[in-house]
Amino acid sequence: MAVRIAHISDTRLGARPRHGVKHNVWGEEMRSQLLENDFYERFAEIFERIHLIEPSLDLVIHSGDFYNSPWEHNPSQPPVVAQETAIRVLKNFTNKTKIPVLIIEGNHGLYRSLDVSLLDSLKMAVPGLDVATQVDLKRAFRLGEPLMFSYEKLDVYCFPFIDYAVLNSMALLSDFNDWISTKQTPNPKRVSIGVAHGMEIDRSLHKPIFEMGYDYIALGHDHHMHKHTEKAWYAGSTERWRYDEIRHDKGYLLVDLELGLPPKITPVHLEFIRPVISDKLEIKLDDTEETIIEKTEEWLEKNGLKGPWEPSTAGRARLVIEGVSPRVSGFELTMALEALRARVLAAESEYNIAQFVWSIHQTEAEHSPSAYPEIESEFLIEDPEGDFRAYLETLEIDERYDERKLTKIAVEALRISVTRPDESLRLEHLTEGEE
The residues with which 358 forms a beta bridge, in sequence order, are 319
In the sheet that holds 276-282, the strands lie side by side as 276-282, 315-322, 353-361
Residues of 77-86 as b/e, b for ≥16 C-beta within 10 angstroms? Answer: ebbebbbbbb
220's CB contacts (< 8 A; 6+ apart) are 9, 10, 62, 63, 64, 65, 104, 106, 195, 196, 197, 198, 234, 235
Question: What is the predicted pLDDT for the residue at 404?
Answer: 73
More confident call, 186 vs 260: 186
- C-alpha to C-alpha distances, 378 to 71, 94, 197, 275, 351, nearest whole angstrom: 10, 33, 15, 23, 30
CA 130 to chain centroid: 22
Q: On the CB side of 53, how many CA atoms lie within 13 Å of its CA?
A: 14
Question: What is the predicted pLDDT for the residue at 74?
Answer: 85
Question: What is the predicted pLDDT for the residue at 411?
Answer: 75
Question: What is the predicted pLDDT for the residue at 409?
Answer: 81
Question: What is the predicted pLDDT for the residue at 99?
Answer: 96
Which pLDDT tens digit goes with each residue over 255-279? Answer: 999 998 999 999 999 999 999 999 9
Between the ranges 69-78, 98-107, 419-428, where is the mean pLDDT highest? 98-107
Residue 221: closest CA among 102, 77, 113, 378:
378
Which pLDDT tens digit goes with each residue over 138-181? Answer: 999 999 999 999 999 999 999 999 999 999 999 999 999 999 99
Q: Is 383's pLDDT higher than 80?
A: no
Question: What is the predicted pLDDT for the residue at 418?
Answer: 55
Question: What is the predicted pLDDT for the residue at 326?
Answer: 93
Arithmetic mean of pLDDT, 53-82: 93
Q: Is 432's pLDDT higher than 70?
A: no
Arithmetic mean of pLDDT, 5-28: 95
pTM for the whole structure = 0.84
Contact by Cβ (8 Å): 356, 364: no
Please provide the average confidence, as pLDDT, over all residues in the chain: 90
Question: Which domains can be identified in the chain, with CATH numbers?
Answer: 3-269 (3.60.21.10), 276-371 (no CATH), 384-431 (no CATH)
Which pLDDT tens digit goes with each residue over 341-375? Answer: 999 999 999 999 999 999 998 754 444 444 434 44
Q: Strands, DSSP E only, in 183-246?
A: 191-197, 216-220, 226-229, 232-234
Question: What is the predicted pLDDT for the residue at 430?
Answer: 55
Q: At what angle do helices 173-183 and 134-143 cross, to 10 degrees?
A: 80
38's CB contacts (< 8 A; 6+ apart) are 27, 239, 274
